[in-house]
Amino acid sequence: MIHHNTVVLLSTFNGQEHIKDQIQSIVNQDNFKDIDLLIRDDGSTDGTIDIINQHFGKYSNIKLIKGENVGLIQSFFNLLQESLNDNNNYQYFSFCDQDDYWLPMKVETAIREISSVEKDNKKLPILYGCKSRIVDEKLQYSGKETQGSKKNLSIFFTAIQNIVPGHNQVMNRSLADIIIKRSKNLDEIYSQDYWFSLVASVTGNIIFDNKSYTLYRMHGNNELGYGTSKFSRMLDHLKRLNNGETRKMSRQLLYFKNCFSDYLTEDELNELADFFSSQKYTLNLIFNMFLPIESR
């Protein structure tokens, strides 16, 4: 496998329906010649691996790792750890879901934005995110997008909303290093997307681009998808409450506090203490954490 300075990390699991489209959209990136694609299959039992080998085996900068089923979070952490080994010199790490579709300038735009900030501080941990267009199974645009941002994405904001979903996350090596070094107990992590955003919010910077470079496919198999109407989002809230999602998120936030307390200001520590003891913060979490859709 060729080692460029940018790697796309893709975890697959029984994704035969859409995996060809997603990987093709990565191959179609404007800067694909400067990208490595590292795929880890999480124990698929369908034709996912055959599709990858049949259509993309000819590319020297695409590598497939066949793994056992460990779940999405562990699989992505395994990919990140693998890409940080001593044989690689990756500086930028882009995360990828198996059923979306990337516009051709997605990765190049993210790297350009991160690089512009790194000019002033090479060691600053940086996470880039952008909006996505919501599309249907056939990639037809719904007229809606994931939520934008008009404010600084501090811990107070990232703790209650996943405004930087994983399929849009691109990070530099400084952030990747600290995530791997500090995130030891993955059982405490509810969502790697949230976790990466939280770490970036207190250790460095989050760059948010209000332009859309991803087609986010909505279908019945979206594990943590977004509702496209107020009513459907309300139903999502109820489902997540029934599934204990808020409890898992609170558990993750407590673990985050323990892992990164040395990065937290006194105000941030006090706010987190209030969060864990106050029903008001719990209610705010319930009603605000999944409101990601806005009309274009």
Number of other CB atoms surrounding residue 148 within 10 Å: 15
pTM: 0.86
3-state secondary structure the chain: CCCCCEEEEEEECCCCCCHHHHHHHHHCCCCHHHEEEEEEEECCCCCHHHHHHHHHCCCCCEEEEEECCCCHHHHHHHHHHHHCCCCCCCCEEEEECCCCEECCCHHHHHHHHHHHHHCCCCCCCEEEEEEEEEECCCCCEEEEEECCCCCCCCHHHHCCCCCCCHHHCEEEHHHHHHHHHHCCCHHHCCCHHHHHHHHHHHHCEEEEEEEEEEEEECCCCCCCCCCCCHHHHHHHHHHHHHCCHHHHHHHHHHHHHHHHHHHCCHHHHHHHHHHHHCHHHHHHHHHHCCCCEEEC
Tokens, residue 136: 């249907």
Q: 132 - beta bridge partners?
A: 214
Per-residue pLDDT of the chain (296 residues; tens, 9 = 90+): 677 899 999 999 999 999 999 999 999 999 999 999 999 999 999 999 999 999 999 999 999 999 999 999 999 999 999 999 878 899 999 999 999 999 999 999 999 999 999 998 989 999 999 999 999 999 999 999 988 876 666 776 676 677 788 999 999 999 999 999 999 999 999 999 999 999 999 999 999 999 999 999 987 554 444 444 444 544 555 555 556 677 788 888 899 999 999 999 998 888 788 777 764 455 555 555 544 444 44
